[in-house]
């Protein structure tokens, strides 16, 4: 880059900096955890990091909203005590100090023991006499499955049914059923898997998936694997059983083989089916 290009870049950066200073207030960073676990006695810290122009020294108001700006859940400003409202009334740590700066002291939202009804978008709104700025980020509060089972049942002399179920998860879990040979790592995601998920009175979901297979389609040494995932998280559970030509067989007592903390908008009943066959 030549001298002219360097000076042009410096000029642009200087202009942007001047504009930001003249704005009054601007949000530098909106720190919202992408995923937290339901009812885990943890604390979720949502911090709205903003900066102020030098002359902005007498009027700042910070408000937090849940889902949209019709649902105020927190507000604080110079001369005002921090106050929770709406769905977060009584669920916030109002003593938390986010900054030593007097006009940034209580900018953060500290949610104690988040639960699934708190999944959604969080909006920070900072106001001064010069301007108003907002920022939005989503937080998912997920619930691990309470139980997961994988079973094989014989439908006829020549066919079986593989069924996988998960209970008490949130948001809606996804169930995929795979087949692979015991001696190989390659697995095939089965076609024509039919699945259903229903919401319980607690607001979590029970889900099942099943597939009908002919014995002629199955290698005698095959394993069946069910993988449960929660979309937009890294949480997963897995169950594995061996194919056999006898009667009923189930994997109901094995502990999770993988479980890692990690949105779907769901109705009371969701139906879907697998129509592709992948290898992974």
CATH number of the domain encompassing residue 195: 2.60.40.10
Residues 138 and 156 in one domain: no
Mean pLDDT by 10 residues, the chain (280 residues): 50 41 80 97 97 74 97 94 97 96 95 98 94 96 98 94 98 97 84 96 97 94 96 96 75 44 33 38
Question: Are residues 184 and 100 part of one domain?
Answer: no
> Is 230 part of any domain?
yes
Q: Tell me what pLDDT residue 195 has.
A: 97
pLDDT at 45: 98
| Claim to verify: residue 166 and residue 118 sit in the same structural domain | no
**Residue 36 to residues 40, 42, 94, 190, 273: CA-CA distances in angstroms?**
9, 8, 20, 31, 29
Tokens 């020294």 — which residue? 57
Domain identity same for 179 and 207: yes
pLDDT at 250: 58
Question: Tell me, what's the pLDDT at 95?
Answer: 96
Residue 39 lies in a domain: yes
Domain count, the chain: 2
Residues 251 and 205 in one domain: yes
Residue 110 lies in a domain: yes
Residues 176 and 104 in one domain: no
User: 142, 161, 196: which is the final residue of a domain?
Assistant: 142
**Strand, helix or coil for residue 174:** strand
Query: Which residues, including other chains, have CB under 8 Å from residue 58's CB and lie 6 or more apart?
Result: 78, 129
Q: H or E stretch including 188?
A: strand 187-189
Pairing of strands 60-66, 72-77: antiparallel
Residue 142: which residues within 8 A CB-CB, separation 6 or more?
35, 36, 37, 38, 116, 119, 169, 170, 171, 230, 233, 235, 261, 262
Last residue in a domain, options 113, 142, 171: 142
Could you tell me if 77 and 158 lie in one domain? no
The CA-based dihedral angle spanning residues 228, 230, 236, 237, taken in that order and rounded to the nearest 10 degrees: -40
Domain boundary among 84, 110, 142: 142
What contacts 193, CB < 8 A, 6 or more positions away? 175, 176, 177, 209, 210, 211, 273, 274
Determine, yes or no, domain membership for 19. no
14 assigned to some structural domain: no
Residues 126 and 160 grouped into a single domain: no
> Are 137 and 158 members of one domain?
no
End-to-end CA distance of the chain: 46
Q: Are residues 107 and 151 part of one domain?
A: no
**Half-sphere CA count of 149, side-chain side, radius 13 A:** 14
Domain limits for position 203: 147-273
Q: Do 214 and 167 belong together in one domain? A: yes
Report CA-CA distances (Å) from 225 to 21, 131, 176, 248, 256: 58, 56, 8, 16, 12
Is residue 35 a part of any domain in this protein?
A: yes
How far apart, in whole angstroms, are the C-alpha atoms of residue 68 and residue 22?
28
Query: Is cis: bond before 171, omega within 30 of 0?
Result: yes
């Amino acid at each position: 880059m030549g001298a002219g290009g360097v000076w042009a870049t410096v000029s642009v950066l200087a202009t942007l900096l001047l504009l930001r200073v003249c704005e009054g207030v601007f949000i530098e960073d909106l720190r919202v955890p992408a995923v937290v676990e339901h009812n885990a006695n943890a604390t979720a810290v949502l911090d709205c990091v903003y900066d102020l122009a030098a002359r902005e020294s007498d009027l700042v108001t910070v408000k937090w909203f849940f889902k949209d700006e019709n649902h105020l859940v927190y507000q604080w400003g110079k001369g005002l005590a921090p106050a929770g409202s709406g769905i977060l009334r009584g669920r916030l740590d109002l003593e938390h100090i986010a900054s030593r700066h007097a006009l940034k002291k209580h900018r953060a939202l500290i949610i104690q023991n988040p639960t699934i009804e708190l999944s959604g978008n969080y909006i920070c709104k900072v106001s001064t006499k010069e301007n108003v700025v907002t920022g939005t980020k989503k937080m998912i509060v997920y619930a691990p499955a309470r139980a997961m089972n994988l079973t094989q049942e014989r439908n006829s002399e020549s066919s079986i049914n593989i069924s996988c179920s998960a209970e008490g998860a949130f948001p809606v879990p996804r169930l995929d059923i795979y087949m692979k040979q015991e001696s190989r790592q390659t697995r095939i995601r089965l076609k024509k898997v039919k699945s259903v998920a229903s919401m319980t009175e607690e607001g979590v979901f029970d889900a099942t998936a099943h597939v009908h297979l002919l014995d002629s389609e199955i290698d005698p040494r095959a394993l069946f694997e069910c993988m449960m995932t929660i979309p937009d998280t890294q949480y997963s559970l897995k169950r594995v059983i061996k194919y056999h030509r006898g009667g009923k067989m189930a994997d109901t007592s094995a502990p999770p083989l993988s479980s890692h903390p990690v949105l779907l908008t769901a109705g009371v009943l969701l139906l879907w089916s697998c129509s592709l066959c992948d290898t992974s």
